[in-house]
Structure 1
Amino acid sequence: MVELPTALHVDTTSIILGSLVVILFAVGISLRPPPPQAHPFLLGRQSTIARTRLPSESPVYSNSNTGGVRAPLRPEKRVRTAKDILELSQTCLEGGERGTWIKGGEKLVEVVQALRAGLLSTLGNTPGLVAVLVEDPTDALLVTLALALSPQKPLVISPGSNLPETAQVTAIIQSSTLFAAAQSISHTPDAKWISLGGAGEKSEAAEDLLVTGRALIANNEAPPPTEAEPSDVALTIVSEGVPLSITHLNLTASLISWASLFPASPKSTRPTLSDSLLSFHHPSTPYGFGLALFAIFTSASLLLVSLPDSATHDDLQALLSTRSAQPPSLIFAPSSTFSEPLYKLLLSKMLGDSAIIIRQARNGKLRLLREGVLATKTIWDQILFQGVKKESRVHRVRALFLEGPVEQSRLETFRTTLGVPTVSTLAHAFLLSPLAAGMMWDVQRLPHPQGASAKSLGPVGPPVTGIDIKLRGDEAEILKGTIKGELLVRTPLLPPPSTLPPSLLLNDSPLPQLPAYPGASSTIEDNSGKWLRTGITAEMGKEGVLWL
């Protein structure tokens, strides 16, 4: 019988080799690529197609997420008006001192309620129409929301829009820098004027509105909130010279469309109280106001800023380095003014690194991107991209939404460097939400329908939930399979068709019409067969996404 040794003797070489095996195993586990967030193969058609069409027109396209079922008009049963949206919100305004009333961190609902009471004490608690020409985006949002909850309804003039000639306003709220434009508005002889000051200027009278309103609320002397029905007009926005009478139903329907940009699978991406939303869209535009309202509904912190058309990456760096606000987690910006500065800002932060490291890191992240993987914790992020994002103050960003088409190569640069979904959207001057938007987890580089000789701009995605589209073009081209032409839109986000210019509407009464919404009746003047002519020329790709 053989006896085993009572002690196990291990030499130094075995210890070193064993330690190396353990270290390599731990490194391999920690640095392994994350599982794909979307299947690496093509996602398939992203639009649902109707079975019938009219001559010279494409079939009706809708978002495939709805499965052909009509989208609801409100996100929750209790959310029927703008008042309901605000009462449920916990949104705070960030960015330090902003505009006339915000000093940093105030709860938006409390400021709006106090400002409403202060405005009514000055303008009177009687029905009226108040023109709003405000340059500062934060002031513009607060004034618009305060008036939308009162009998004094706002007439908001979008930046660069022509002023209406027929509207008789009873009061005018304007920035001092827009005084000349405000003078040209048609108003009653006894119209009241409120100036909010301008850049670097303060208006004591405007600041007193908030102080007065808070005192009235503290003494229970503020007028009660105005009750409204979903079909009532909440505000009027003048966009591209056309007054848009936006109802409460339009506002709640826009929340459904905005929410469709944030899928719930494989994990919930909807904004929450812990998110900080940075918007470069002015709230005096339908798109900017709808975005701000969605942030308020989700209780995300909100920061409204603007960039000039000739902004550089240094301007963007200074804006993102605001110490009075936490770094943003969601960014919404127009691609025309934001894409170039962000691209140069990220490149400028890589200049101190080796060209070999930059090339290998980019190629490594691109390989993951081709597999459908968006990740922020790869070995390449630890070597290069984490430092770049921290220096650029975008390390908390979890999604980037750019309005307008973006070059596909630039989209890939943002996705590899930031490691987060980068989405192109399409806006229209009459809509409170995007007309079309890409899917967050779709990282495909799709071929252009016109071939390799076409522009390198990427698609703007399928129509969002709640919006139906079709293309009106040449019948011969449509029969060949080229679906291209003018974009037509049908959606509950639009004001009643009877309030829009007839030249912008097109009726397709021969096709079956959608039934009326519950509690509403279809009429000849306001029926679902009227389509808005957008004036946008687009082409529908084989994947069900729009190309401009």
Structure 2
Amino acid sequence: MAVSDYLVTDDLTIILALVAAGLFLLHNLYKPQALVHPILLGRQSDVARVRNPSESAVYRNYGTGMLGRFPLRPTKDQQVVLDLVKPDVDAPRTLWSTKITNLQLRERVANVGAGLTRAVGLVPQESNVLLLLNDGIEFLVADLALSALLVPTFTVASASVISPVLESHPPSVIITNPELLQHVLELIYDAHESEHHTIVVTGDISGLNLPKVDHVKILMWDDIEADGAAAAKAALPVPDPNDVYTVSFFQTPTGDLEGVQLTHQNLTAGIAATRALLPPSSALSPLDTIVSAFPLGTPYGRAVAYTALFEGTGFATVDSTKLIKSESGGSAPTGMKDLRTSGVYSVSSPTLLFVRPDHLNSLTDAISQEASNSSWFLFNFAWRHKLAGVLEGYITKQSLWDRLVFDSARMKVMGKGAGTVRAVVVGGGPLEAQNLTPSRIALSVPVINVHSHPLVAGPVFASHALDLQTFPPSGTAPSASASDAYAFTYLAPVGPPSVNVEVKLTGVDDSAVEAGSDPVGALRVRGPSVGRPLSVEEEAQEEEERGWRTTGEHAKVAANGTFKVSPAGKA
């Protein structure tokens, strides 16, 4: 009998077969493809071939390689900090609420430098100036002017270290805001110092009820800038890239005062690393606007701000970066409440957010809640499809589910930023791995997890912008502390080392490493963006002489070269 005698078909069978074939083809043709090949994510660090006993191998970013040179500056023309303000770029940008060109900014820098020299008599490489300024354009102008005068600046990461800095490192001059002036005068009065202080104030103080303090001379910023504008500008010496440009003070986890010396090269290297956070296909441009949650008084916060300055982008910060958080003495704003404070500045809608984990989590929760309230059924259906795309390594803001569900929710939460934000860089605290995927679904933009440290001007670690991999919680060694066990099990990886930082772990278990376990140990860092702590003694240990700096943190490195870091000072 012929084969056709055994095959009985009708029109319905043929139609169903065609529908099944069409669905199969559609599924394969429209299945999202990973934005970056998994092979590239399988080896994100270049690892040295040898290691010392009780140490891990040295790890570098795979893009740099063990034999590559660390980038020291954004381009060859940026040798010192003032070079970041490129004179050949004449397009204006908005810094906080001030629209200004590079030439205008350089002119203000020269005027303030000349005015400070005439009014205070600063001595290059001998005087120093304490910048007690909330983030604003005055901070940038003062910082750039003093760097050109070869006068190191002092900055503080928080108000809690102002008093110990004044006691142990008395500055030649203090530059501050009216909001901070009363606090500074009270500290000087309580210290019963006989030393003369000169304070430059950047705003109007006529309405302030200030305590009367002897040996204090108060000058006005506007008067100094006007005086400098009328004065003849003398030729300034050219700074050396290795000159100490600033000292940043911070509080250690044990409560002690610590400071880090940063050279011009440290900062330019940090800017090179910050620019590398984004892939070349979506690099920073003058069309961008950055909103940062990291104060300029910290090395990482200053690297972010000066990256914006170099690229010609708009820039603003949030209220939590202020030294004095509120006049009522309340706690600093967090989450969405803090993010919305950047709206008081007349900058364009942000395109890049440099935020803390509390900002990211609050933003994710708000968007998810709005989307769920609009239509619970559609939200769950859209979430499932978006999650499938993320698990395949693919995200987009242009999908059907974005148009139906998430776009309107983002607009209600983020306003105009819903359509302009194209990347989020999160750092400054631990981020749990379980929060990363919901954030990527809700925002549908790259979320880059960064680890920073007070000793480093720029990121220490940074995840790949398009690395959407998720891994199940991994076990830890029985001897690990509670903090390490939590961090290495539940925290999100912070990626490989930055492009100009190399790291190693000390105190590792040699037998466990030889058996194939992931190395776990104390984190040490080295590179051109790493500063020198003030606590380093003249007779430094061999490790310090070779440039390795102790971070006080523990880390674990996975087989693909990404790290997890346990925060310092936790028990």
Q: Greater shift after overlay, 238-247 or 447-456?
A: 447-456
Q: CA deviation at 1:450?
A: 1.9
Question: Which residue in the other structure is 1:124 paired with?
Answer: 121
Does 2:238 align with 1:227?
yes
Matched residues, percent identical? 26
The Cα of 1:135 is off from its aligned counterpart by 3.1
Specify which of 464, 485, 496 is matched with residue 439 of structure 1.
Answer: 464
CA deviations on 1:177-209 (whole Å, 9 max, x unpaired) are 444456458998344212335999799923444
Are the aligned partners of 2:32 and 2:389 in contact in 1 as well (CA < 8 Å)?
A: no
Mapped to 2, the partners of 1:389 and 1:105 lie a distance apart of: 31
| TM-score, length-scaled by structure 1 | 0.80
Q: 1:72 to 1:313 in 2, by over 3 A?
A: closer
> What is the alpha-carbon distance in structure 2 between the residues aligned to residue 147 and residue 187 of structure 1?
26
Conserved 8 A contact 2:336-2:363? no
Task: Report how many aligned residue pairs link the two structures.
Answer: 490
TM-score between the two structures when normalised by the length of structure 2: 0.77
Q: Which residue of 1 aligns with 2:212?
A: none
TM alignment of 1:80-119, pairs within 5 A: 80-88=79-87, 92-96=93-97, 102=98, 108-119=105-116
Unaligned stretches of 5+ in structure 2?
A: 1-21, 209-217, 252-256, 326-330, 477-484, 566-571
Quote the offset at 1:423 in angstroms. 1.0
After TM superposition, the structure 1 stretch with the greater mean CA deviation from structure 2, 53-62 or 172-181, is: 172-181
Contact in 1 for aligned 2:319/2:342 (Cα 8 Å): no
Corresponding residue of 2:288: 275
1:133 aligned partner = 132
8 A Cα contact 2:314 2:347, kept in partner: no
CA–CA distance in structure 1, aligned partners of residues 267 and 135 of structure 2: 22
Q: Report matched runs for 1:196-345 at 5 Å.
A: 196=202, 205-213=220-228, 215-216=229-230, 221-240=232-251, 241-264=257-280, 268-307=281-320, 311=333, 315-316=337-338, 318-319=340-341, 321-322=343-344, 324-335=346-357, 337-345=358-366
Structure 2 matches for 1:110-509, cutoff 5 A? Answer: 110-124=107-121, 126-127=123-124, 128-159=127-158, 160-161=160-161, 162-163=164-165, 165-179=167-181, 180-181=183-184, 183-184=187-188, 189-196=195-202, 205-213=220-228, 215-216=229-230, 221-240=232-251, 241-264=257-280, 268-307=281-320, 311=333, 315-316=337-338, 318-319=340-341, 321-322=343-344, 324-335=346-357, 337-391=358-412, 392-393=414-415, 394-395=417-418, 396-403=420-427, 404-450=429-475, 455-475=489-509, 476-480=511-515, 481-496=517-532, 500-502=535-537, 507-508=542-543
Deviation at 1:504, TM superposition (A): 12
Contact kept, 8 Å, 2:431 with 2:491, in 1: the verdict is yes
Any conservation in 1 of the 2:446–2:466 contact (CA below 8 Å)? yes
Of 508, 520, 533, which aligns to 2:550?
533
Bigger shift: residues 486-495 or 343-352: 343-352
SS of the counterpart of 1:400?
strand
Query: Residue type of the partner of 2:299?
Result: P
Residues 91 and 295 of structure 1 are in contact (CA less than 8 Å); yes or no, is this contact kept in structure 2? no
Structure 1 residues 321 and 72: CA distance shift in structure 2, 3 A: closer
Note the alpha carbon deviations across 1:428-462, whole angstroms, 9 max, x for none. Answer: 11110111010001111123442799743211111
**Aligned-pair RMSD on alpha carbons?**
3.5
Gaps of 5+ in 1: 1-23, 97-101, 509-525
Partners of 1:338 and 1:436 in 2: CA distance: 20
| Alpha-carbon separation, structure 2, partners of 1:504 and 1:65 | 35
SS at the partner of 2:394? Answer: coil
8 Å CA contact retained: 1:506, 1:533: no
Residue 489 of structure 1 aligns with an amino acid whose one-letter code is: V
Contact kept, 8 Å, 2:71 with 2:269, in 1: the verdict is yes
Q: What corresponds to 1:70 in structure 2?
A: 69
Instruction: Check whether the contact 1:166–1:186 (CA below 8 A) recurs between aligned residues.
Output: no
Query: Structure 1 residue 138: deviation in Å?
Result: 4.5
Distance of 1:305 and 1:145 partners within structure 2: 22
Q: Secondary structure at the match of 1:252?
A: helix
CA shift digits 1:247-294 (9 cap, x unpaired): 112122222222221222xxx222110000111100011111111111
Does the CA-based 8 Å contact 2:33-2:392 persist in structure 1? no
- Equivalent pair of 1:506/1:531 in contact (CA under 8 Å): no
Cα deviation, 1:357-395, whole Å, max 9, x if unaligned, reads 111111111111111112110101111222222221332
Verify the 8 A CA contact 1:42 1:444 in the aligned structure 2. no
**Alpha carbons of structure 1 residues 430 and 459: separation in structure 2 relative to 1, 3 Å:** same
Q: 1:351 and 1:204, CA in 2 relative to 1: closer, same or farther beyond 3 A?
A: farther
Q: Kindly tell me: are residues 467 and 500 of structure 1, through their superposed partners in 2, closer, same or farther at Cα, counting changes over 3 Å?
A: farther
